Structure formats: C-alpha cells, structure tokens
Amino acid sequence: MSGSTAYGLCSAALVGLGLFGLIVHPEPLRKTLAFNVIGGGVFLLFGVVARRGAAAGFGGDPVPQALVITGLVVAFAATALTVGLLLRLFQEAGRANLRSDE
C-alpha cells in the first residue's frame, strides 16, 4: 500500500462518515459540519488522483488541484450562507432546528 492509497481509503471513510452525520444529526449546525467533513473527503480523493497523475516534472496533476481550490472556496461560500440562514432562523423563531410540527 502506498501513501496515496492510505489517503484514498481515508477519503472513502470520511465521505461515509460525513454522510452518516448529515443524515442522523437533527441540528442544522451539526449537519453543516458533517457536510464540510464530506467535502474534505471528496477533495482528498481528488488529491489522491492528482498525486497519482504526477508527470512532466510536477509533484501532482495541477488540474485536479486547481479544481479543489475552486471547490474549497465555493464550500466556504455555501457554509457562510448556511450559517447566516441558521442565525436568522434562531433570531426569528428562538430555536435553530428544522422541525415543522410545533
């Protein structure tokens, strides 16, 4: 097993773990965290593919690396919007969960 395979297996586990958190956590803040954990796992998978594609004197394929940088920025934008929505919900409703039956 090479180093990048170890990280590849790690990324697979991270995606599964994050998905589990996203489904079972009732609080939206924890769902946001879980979503970011999934994001980390997906980006890591890209990183492993990039590392395997090392060629032309580069340590890794720069195209997936650039995609990951774009992805990280977009993930941050989504997280900031989620947190904004969440804080506003808390302000309006005095609670921050997604139950509609009250």
Partner 1 sequence: MAFDIGLAILVLGVAVWTIAGRDAFAAVVGFVAYGLLLALVWVRLAAPDVALTEAALGSGLTGGLLLAASTRLRRPETTAPGEESAAPLRFAAAIVCALVTAGLVAIVLLLPEPPPTLAPQAAANMAATGLGNPVTAVLMAYRAIDTLLETVVLLLALLGVWSLAPDRFWGGLPGQRHHADPEGVLTFAAQLLVPVGVLVGIHIFWVGSIAPGGEFQGATILAAMWILAAMAGLVDAPAVSRRWLRSMLVAGPVVFLAIGLIGFAIAGAFLAYPDSLAKLLIVLIEVPVTLSIAATLALLVAGPPARMPQQ
Q: Under the criterion CB under 8 A, does residue 85 sit at the interface with partner 1?
A: yes
Q: How far apart are the first and last CA of the chain?
A: 53
CA–CA–CA angle 49, 74, 97 (5° rounding): 115
Nearer to partner 1, 70 or 100 (CB): 70
What's the closest the beta carbon of residue 90 comes to partner 1, in angstroms? 6
Q: Under the criterion CB under 8 A, does residue 35 sit at the interface with partner 1?
A: no
- The pattern of x and - marking residues 41 through 60 that bind partner 1 according to CB under 8 A reads --xxx-xxxxxxxxxxxxxx
CA distance 41 to 43: 5
Q: Under the criterion CB under 8 A, does residue 29 sit at the interface with partner 1?
A: yes
What's the closest the beta carbon of residue 40 comes to partner 1, in angstroms? 6
- Both tokens assigned to 68: 């990951």
- Both tokens assigned to 52: 């395997």
Query: Which burial class, exposed, middle or buried, applies to 64 when counting CB atoms under 10 A from its CB (0-12, 13-18, 19+)?
Result: buried
Q: Under the criterion CB under 8 A, does residue 31 sit at the interface with partner 1?
A: no
Q: Under the criterion CB under 8 A, does residue 98 sit at the interface with partner 1?
A: no
